[in-house]
Each structure stands twice: as structure tokens, then as C-alpha cells.
Structure 1
């Protein structure tokens, strides 16, 4: 069993240095020839999914607040990486699961609900300053990345029932503008992250005509967990099922990057009727949970979690993911990646997940019945390509697609390629 751990991921192996994200310069809002409105000109090169150019797409900025605002998505470049074990304290900080649920959507929704016709509806209260939902941490104002800022304005919380109780969790997601696809694509995220990861690929999926949902797994992102629920694997699975049952309601193409692949496998095995196909991106599925970290004294666990939140550690993770980017950009992306850590219940939720034992899906892999596409970044430094090959042979019905010049966050540094792969796979018979 591969046991090496890297910064910010529970199931990891070591391979080559990830490739650098090369972002094209953005045009200022309102500049000559800059597109405005919800969609850009169909022939715009940044949305040419059929292009052979795998460079990161330039997405025009629209600062006019419409409903919903321009669909831009920021990746959490930091929430998915883990450092090698260097002492108990560092391990406690690095291998901890995290739990700040994310909240994203076109229309801001408060956690207030109204009953109608025996159901529940979200009551929106408009956006806060600069169009940001008021439930986001105030640190969102410090983020400079226009992609992240635009995505933050498209945040929604939906009420998701907890089991058979009358209680609801206001759960964050990016909801599709139109819900008509017989096989919607549902995007999960990496460890200690949020659906902000998908800010580059999500617009491309929408442009391709897919119905795409970007969800925050319970215990990560920006959801409202003021009354902290259990954040163990069973609770995450149940929460995802209740959200699917309430809003999606059709067999889905479930996409999981890194540890999100373990989330997807666990869900597909337990609720096969809800999953038509799987897409696993640089899957991290061979660690046996959080291991000895689950046995740490609570005081030590909280110290470790505090370390996990620190800016230097997150900056290191960002530099590990993308080599050669300007320091100023790394600093900004680090602020994006740790935004959810400012949620007031983040430490408690993270310790709760760690103590629960985390994900161990090794025994479930051969039980997966769905067709599966594995997307593998050739320069992934976080999960060994050998583990991806092992998964390919152990899954009953899987195929693999390698992406050159891509690291661990392939859906971030090669969004056009990933969107094309997902779109083709979702539509294939």
C-alpha cells in the first residue's frame, strides 16, 4: 500500500513536478472589444472547446451585476496538497480533512427558508458589497483574481434535509442555469477545497451545452455549518444523496478530482441508481483514511489544524502545484485557496473529519459498476501515475486519458482539455 503523504491530500503518491499554470492576460472590464453579458461570442477562441490549444483559456470579465453574474470559476490551488510526514505536529496539520462547506451561486440565498406546498424554498436577500454573498468571509474582498471574484458572485446555498429530520443544511453549490440534460454532470472537488476549483472548466462545460453542477462536499467549502453536523464519510455520503434527491433527481455523471475521486467511488457504490458514469481526475483513492491522525489528542489535533490554515503552508502548497508562476499571483491564489478556512466552524469541522478516520475506499474499487474515465496529468507530483494505472486495472469498466504538461489540478491548468474529455464522455453511449 502506498503510504507517502503530500501537503493537503489524504491519499497521495509522489511523482514529477506539476506543470506551471500559464494564464493569458485578462482584458479590463469595459475595454474595447471586451465581451460583456452572460455569454461571449460563440466563436471566441477562449470557448473553442474543439481547439487543440491546451493553454489556459482567457475568460472575459463582466463587472455588470446581472442575474446570475458572469460564470467565472476559481480553482482552489491550495486545498489539495499535502507535505511529506515530518513530525506529528506537521502531520496533524497536513493530513487533516477539512470542513468549511462552500457556498456559490448566481443568486445569493440566506439560510432562512419558507414552507410552501409541503416543501422548502430558498429565500434570497441579494448580494453584499461588490455583489458577493454576505455569508462569504470578508477576506473575499482582498482577492484580486478576477476569475475568483466573478465566481464568488455566483454563489448559492440550497436547503438540504438532514436524514429524516426536519433540519436543513444550507449547502453551497453552483447551480446550472438550465436543468434539462438527461445526464447532468456533477462536479466534486479535492480535499479541503470547494467548488471554486472549477471556475476555469465550468464555463466551458456550460458552453458545450452540458447541465453542470459544482457542489461542495459536506465539511468543505462555504456552507452554513453553524450547528456542526458530523463530518464523517457516512454524513458526507448522505448529504450528497439528499442534495441529489432534492434537486438533481436523475442519474448523473459524477466527477471527482484527487480525494474527490474517493468521495465519488464511495457514493457510486452505495447509491448506484444515482450515478450513470464516473470521471476520476488524478484520483487519490489508495490511502487507508487518516490513519494514526484519528488517534491524536484533541489539543494536538487543533494545533495541527491551526497550522493547516497558515498562509506559509498554503503558499508552499500553491508553489508545489504550479512551478514558476509570479510570486504576486501565488500570494493571491493562496488567499483564494484558504478563503474557506475563515469560516467560523472550520477548525471544529476539520478535527471532526480527521477523528472520524477519513476515506478508505480500497475495498470498494472493484464494486464499481459504472463506466469510468480516469484523467491523469502526466506531471502530477501529488498522486503517482502508477497509482492511476493500478486503478485503471482494478476498476471493472474503465479507460484512461493522459494529459501532457499537466499537474495535479488538471481541471485547472488544462481546462479546455478536461472540459472536452468530460463532455465527450458524458455524451457517449
Structure 2
């Protein structure tokens, strides 16, 4: 679940949601058993996914999870290449720019479970990439978790596999990742798409001088099911499927937290100051699309107008009746905006959203 990461450790404690802030559709029994832990591999899932992946009942999430793979990325890390998790396109093309999908803070490529199929069906070469330190990469050797190394890792991934100027898509804190990367490697990015962008927080600088047990305590809380439930309710305007749907979305958003190095990687990131891109925004010269949920309860959509004014070449589109993660809540609408921005013809199959259950992302 991509949570807003601000400069204060109190950001790990989310406010109590008002009952008027969210709606959950008709109730249903959960009835899901199984124990969490590392070592998947059953049911066609990659063996490196936590065993809890087998408890997920969401069809698009299951299909995308089965496509996650680890590819070696050679960086300056002295302990060898990093096996980095991503979803690769079924076919690479040469007649259009590839689209590389990042994710939010403390999340994974499974954020794209509903929108990725629509982009792929529309003929885009789409990559869903886990930002180093989150997602499902092999971090047993503990590579650095600071911003500079995250940037280098993404660049080496792009250089090894994507190889052409890309449309870089950054939701929530992924927008800060995208801005930092683009300013440092402008030749690698042709266009930018920001979704509910978290770009005005000043990192985690208040944590850099704290004893390490303090962020570890916050990370322990962040992993807990009660906080994940609360964060999920705050992040969405409407969750389909009642309690069972809510439970499934919590399990999907929490899956990467069950990897054994998750706590260490997240604490390392927070202790190194996090992302602060305030002075980089006006250095972005690429054409940009800004998407924002009108009912975003995590980051006010007033920041959408501020970002629109500060970027020299940007288009702003609001998504109605939608919370902080439009590509999960309104995938068809997000796909439409992306395809319009890229000037891509939308085939009938993608317009109808044939890969999605009827309860998800209607617009």
C-alpha cells in the first residue's frame, strides 16, 4: 500500500478515518486460510514470492503475480548483480516508446494489476518495475537503500533491458522517484506521467539522527494488519467486494512486507533521508501528464494544481469519485488518459476492459 511518506516519523501513524470518507460495497465472508511466510512456488507463482500469495483471490492480481520475474541488474554494488523484480512485456516494440510503471512508497508492481492488462491490450510495451528496496527483488545481500543507489539501480535496469527513451509513470512517492531520475538522466525519459504525486514532502530528514530502534518500531507498526486495513480504507473512495474485497486488497498491498529483508531495507531508506525533490521539479523539461483522484484522502488534490503550474509542459486531468490510487480504483479511466496522452489508438478490447472483473474500475 503506497502511503504518503513525509518528513516526520508521525507519518507512520495515520489519522482515524471518518466514516464519511470511504464506502465499502456489499459484505461477504472472507473464508481464507493459510499462513504467511517466504517460499511460494505453488499454483504457478514464482518461488521467490511469499507463500501468502496463495491466499489472494483477486484474479488480475494472481495473473500479474505469476508474471513477476527477477532479472540481474549490474550496479556498483560490490557483492554482485541484484536480482531485480519486474513484469516484462510479452513483446518489445520499436515503433513507440516503452512505458515503465513505477509504484508508490512501500508497495510493489502489483499496484498495476488492473491497469497493466489494459495498456498491454492497447499495444503498449509496458514494464512494471519494483523500485529497489520495495517489491520482490532479492535484497539478501542488503544493497544500499538511499536515493542515489535507487536512482543508479533504475538507470542500470533501463540501460540493460529497456534501452530506449521511456515514458516513466510515477504514482504517489513514485512521482518523486521519477523526477529525481529524470533530472539526472534526461536522455532516458521521453515523457512523464504523475499519478497523485507525492513530491512536496521533504523526505525523512527528521529520522536521520534518531536511534535505529525508532524507525524499526515504526516499520513494525507499518507492517501490522490493523494499520494496513486503515491505510487501505483511507486510500480509496470505494472498495468493491465488501469485507472480502477489502481483505484481498490488504493482502496484496502487504505481500512484499513478508520478505525477510523488508524491515532493514525500509529503515535504511528512512535513515538516509528519503526523497526531497522540491528543487528539481522546475528542472523537468519533458511533456507531463498529471492524474489525480478528486477524492484523494492521502494528498490533497490542491497539490495537483501547484504541480501543474510548476512544470513547464504539463496537462492536468482529475479522476472523479476516486481516491489516492486511480490505477487501482479507476483503471479504465487511467488507461484512457494514458493512451490519449501518448496518442495511441484504443482498440475495442482495451476500451471495454475485458481482463477486469465487472466490479473493478468502472467509469
TM-score normalised by length of structure 1: 0.71
Contact kept, 8 Å, 2:72 with 2:84, in 1: the verdict is yes
Q: Does 1:200 align with 2:114?
A: yes
Does the residue aligned with 2:280 lie in a helix, a strand or coil?
helix
- Residues 29-428 of structure 1 aligned to structure 2 (within 5 Å): 128-163=41-76, 167-181=80-94, 182-322=96-236, 325=239, 326-427=242-343
Contact kept, 8 Å, 2:236 with 2:322, in 1: the verdict is no
Gaps of 5+ in 2: 29-38, 345-363
Relative distance call for 1:210 and 1:297 in structure 2 (3 A) is same
Residue 145 of structure 1 deviates from its aligned partner by: 2.0
Contact kept, 8 Å, 1:20 with 1:321, in 2: the verdict is no
Relative distance call for 1:21 and 1:202 in structure 2 (3 A) is farther
Query: Residues of 1 paired with 2:21 and 2:180: CA distance?
Result: 27
Gaps of 5+ in 1: 1-5, 26-109, 111-126
Contact kept, 8 Å, 2:294 with 2:322, in 1: the verdict is yes
Query: Residues of 1 paired with 2:201 and 2:237: CA distance?
Result: 26
Relative distance call for 1:147 and 1:206 in structure 2 (3 A) is same
Residue 329 of structure 1 deviates from its aligned partner by: 1.9
Query: Residues of 1 paired with 2:156 and 2:46: CA distance?
Result: 24
Contact kept, 8 Å, 2:25 with 2:238, in 1: the verdict is no
1:205-234 deviations in Å (ceiling 9; x for gaps) = 011111000000001100000000001110
Residue 201 of structure 1 deviates from its aligned partner by: 0.3
Does the residue aligned with 1:253 lie in a helix, a strand or coil?
strand
Q: Comparing 236-245 with 318-327, which one deviates more in the overlay?
A: 318-327
Does the residue aligned with 1:362 lie in a helix, a strand or coil?
coil
Relative distance call for 1:410 and 1:22 in structure 2 (3 A) is farther
Query: Residues of 2 paired with 1:360 and 1:380: CA distance?
Result: 21
Q: Comparing 271-280 with 383-392, which one deviates more in the overlay?
A: 383-392
Contact kept, 8 Å, 2:74 with 2:156, in 1: the verdict is yes
Residue 294 of structure 1 deviates from its aligned partner by: 2.4
Residue 154 of structure 1 deviates from its aligned partner by: 1.0
Residue 413 of structure 1 deviates from its aligned partner by: 1.0
Query: Residues of 2 paired with 1:302 and 1:19: CA distance?
Result: 30
Does the residue aligned with 2:290 lie in a helix, a strand or coil?
strand
Does the residue aligned with 2:268 lie in a helix, a strand or coil?
helix
Residue 128 of structure 1 deviates from its aligned partner by: 2.2
Does the residue aligned with 2:208 lie in a helix, a strand or coil?
helix
TM-score normalised by length of structure 2: 0.83
Residue 21 of structure 1 deviates from its aligned partner by: 7.8
Residue 143 of structure 1 deviates from its aligned partner by: 1.8
1:373-425 deviations in Å (ceiling 9; x for gaps) = 10111111111111111111011111101111111101111101111111221
Aligned length, in residue pairs: 322
Does the residue aligned with 1:276 lie in a helix, a strand or coil?
strand
Relative distance call for 1:187 and 1:346 in structure 2 (3 A) is same
Query: Residues of 2 paired with 1:395 and 1:361: CA distance?
Result: 13
Q: Write 1 or 2 for the structure with the bigger share of helix.
A: 2
Does the residue aligned with 1:295 lie in a helix, a strand or coil?
coil
Query: Residues of 1 paired with 2:2 and 2:310: CA distance?
Result: 26
Structure-2 residue corresponding to 1:10? 5
Relative distance call for 1:323 and 1:277 in structure 2 (3 A) is closer
Residue 136 of structure 1 deviates from its aligned partner by: 0.5
Structure-2 residue corresponding to 1:124? none
Structure-2 residue corresponding to 1:40? none
Relative distance call for 1:7 and 1:239 in structure 2 (3 A) is closer
Does the residue aligned with 1:269 lie in a helix, a strand or coil?
helix
